[in-house]
Structure 1
Amino acid sequence: MGRVQDKVALITGGASGIGLSAATLLAKEGAKVVIADFHVDGAKQAAESIKAQGGEAVGIFLDAGDDNSIRAAVENTVEQYGKITVLFNNVGLTNLKKDLDVVNIDLDEWDRLMNVNLKSVLLGSRYAIPHMIRAGGGSIINTASMAGFTGDSIRAAYGASKAAVVNLTKYIATQYGKDNIRCNAVAPGLILTPAAKNNMAPEVLDIFAKYNALPYHGQPEDIGYTVVFLASDESKFITGQTIQVEGGHYIANPSIADFNEWMKKAQG
């Protein structure tokens, strides 16, 4: 308890999944949290759940594709709690039907994902940083993705936007480090959020499990605990980094799982 005591955190996309886990754990560790989400009812319900557990939280509306809405979320946080010292830029979109390969991608979808996945990180940081400077410093945490480090058969816009988040994280860290502001990112692999469990066939989950180094999938709390660490003073000498939380899915020769299966058959 108390790892982020008295810090004030704004979590975008905090009504469910990774954002909700981070908000809940930050509040449990002493932070006052503002949960901002397009689904405002979900944000308010999440805040009520946190308060029922003894935490401090409010839920507000956020349209991460709108400049004024992002500014308002930051200002509302400061008005509510007097400062902002933690910003978790967590909002992100993907679209498997329109975000295809380079030849066939819907160009309007490219623009939409760049606006929400990347520009919202820029704008959230843009509006929060002056308040963090006045508060004596802060920690900005961005949700990247392992898609920003690898190629895939589809989701060109998503991957490009997340790769840009990784580099923008370094620029923010470089430009505002002397103001005692740190900026890091978290790159999740497959995390079993409600959306992932509802939208991915069991066979697809099995494919991911086959290539994980660990014998299980990630949970939202695995990202949430990483966010708490990066928000806390425990990570005070870490900035400009992207922590890959992906169960070892990407660390090995990509053929190792198939090779191990071949070896078992050969020995049997």
Structure 2
Amino acid sequence: MASLQILSGKRILVTGAARGLGRDFAQAAAEAGARVVMADVLADLVQGEAEKLASIGLNTSAVSIDLSQKKSIQQAVQTAVSILGGLDGLINCAALATGVGGVDMMEYDETLWDRVMTVNVKGTWLVSQACVPHLKASGQGKIINISSDTALWGAPKLMAYVASKGAILSMTRSMASELGADNICVNTVSPGLTLVEATEYVPQSRHDLYVNGRAIQRQQLPQDVNGTAIYLLSDMSSFVTGQNIPVNGGFVFN
């Protein structure tokens, strides 16, 4: 996919890009020809990852962003736009996942619930809000919101995370309806359980459940999701909006 350079000239912002799926999205987009700004609250780590990718010839830069702070979001988006000279695409990948699993709904901590909702839901909205004027100016803007297939099958003992990812699905539809007149496409990608840093805490039994329940019975890797994201950022998907695409090897069918 990357060799096709189907994102040549595109200017892309990826949040949650210091590691995991976000980092892989950033690399895949850059390999497909895009100029990419990688944003994360882990400022030193995302700077290092952007420099690593730049050292192999990819056009990547980094900015710090805290999705719980509106001012930080606005500053990060403005810096990204200044670096890129505009904006054609946004991948909302940043989310709080580590440490939110394995708790029964009756025992869930209210403070953690609020933080998950602030980062995963409100943060996604605020980043999108800050990017929309620039995406509108591009003439063919793209927003990809990263949800999770846990919201499709109702994974137990993950209620805050599942609820936040369900909200992302609904937000995507509403955003698509509102932004279509501005020629901005908004879609959701819902990965299954993927082998990244954020899923290291997940019990082996949950990994086994996914592998055994998939039509394609193996572990899911970040690169399994990249092609869908690149397609949705490209001109090939200019008439696709308001959709959710599960990428999970057939664990959940849409």
TM-score of the two chains, using structure 2 as the length reference: 0.93
Match of 2:241 in 1: 239
Check the 8 A contact 2:101/2:202 in 1, yes or no. Answer: no
Cα distance change of structure 1 residues 204 and 102 upon mapping to structure 2, 3 Å threshold: closer
Secondary structure of the corresponding residue to residue 74 of structure 1: helix
The 2-side partners of 1:42 and 1:24 are apart by 15
**CA positional deviation for 1:110:** 1.2
The 2-side partners of 1:112 and 1:239 are apart by 29
**CA positional deviation for 1:153:** 2.5
Bigger Rg, which one = 1
**CA positional deviation for 1:102:** 3.0
Gaps of 5+ in 1: 253-268
Deviation string for 1:183-206 (max 9, x for gaps)?
A: 00100111111332x334545423
Which residue identity does 1:176 align to in structure 2? L
The 2-side partners of 1:17 and 1:151 are apart by 23
Match of 1:29 in 2: 32
Secondary structure of the corresponding residue to residue 105 of structure 2: coil
Q: 2:123 aligns with which of 120, 125, 129?
A: 120
Check the 8 A contact 1:99/1:109 in 2, yes or no. Answer: no
Check the 8 A contact 1:133/1:181 in 2, yes or no. Answer: yes
Match of 1:266 in 2: none
Match of 2:251 in 1: 249
**CA positional deviation for 1:97:** 5.8
Check the 8 A contact 2:152/2:252 in 1, yes or no. Answer: no
RMSD: 1.7
Displacement over 6 Å in runs of 4+ = none
Cα distance change of structure 1 residues 95 and 193 upon mapping to structure 2, 3 Å threshold: closer
Q: Percent identity?
A: 34
Match of 2:213 in 1: 211
The 2-side partners of 1:98 and 1:21 are apart by 23
Secondary structure of the corresponding residue to residue 194 of structure 2: coil
Gaps of 5+ in 2: none
Deviation string for 1:133-181 (max 9, x for gaps)?
A: 1222310000101121222331111111111100100111110111110
The 2-side partners of 1:108 and 1:50 are apart by 37
Q: 1:82 aligns with which of 65, 85, 96?
A: 85
The 1-side partners of 2:143 and 2:253 are apart by 27
Match of 1:265 in 2: none
Match of 2:55 in 1: 52
The 1-side partners of 2:142 and 2:15 are apart by 14
TM-score of the two chains, using structure 1 as the length reference: 0.88
Check if 1:185 corresponds to 2:188: yes
Which residue identity does 1:184 align to in structure 2? N
The 1-side partners of 2:60 and 2:130 are apart by 21
Match runs of 1:1-268 below 5 Å: 1-94=4-97, 96=99, 100-196=103-199, 198-251=200-253
Deviation string for 1:209-248 (max 9, x for gaps)?
A: 1111112121111122211111001111110001000111
**CA positional deviation for 1:64:** 1.3
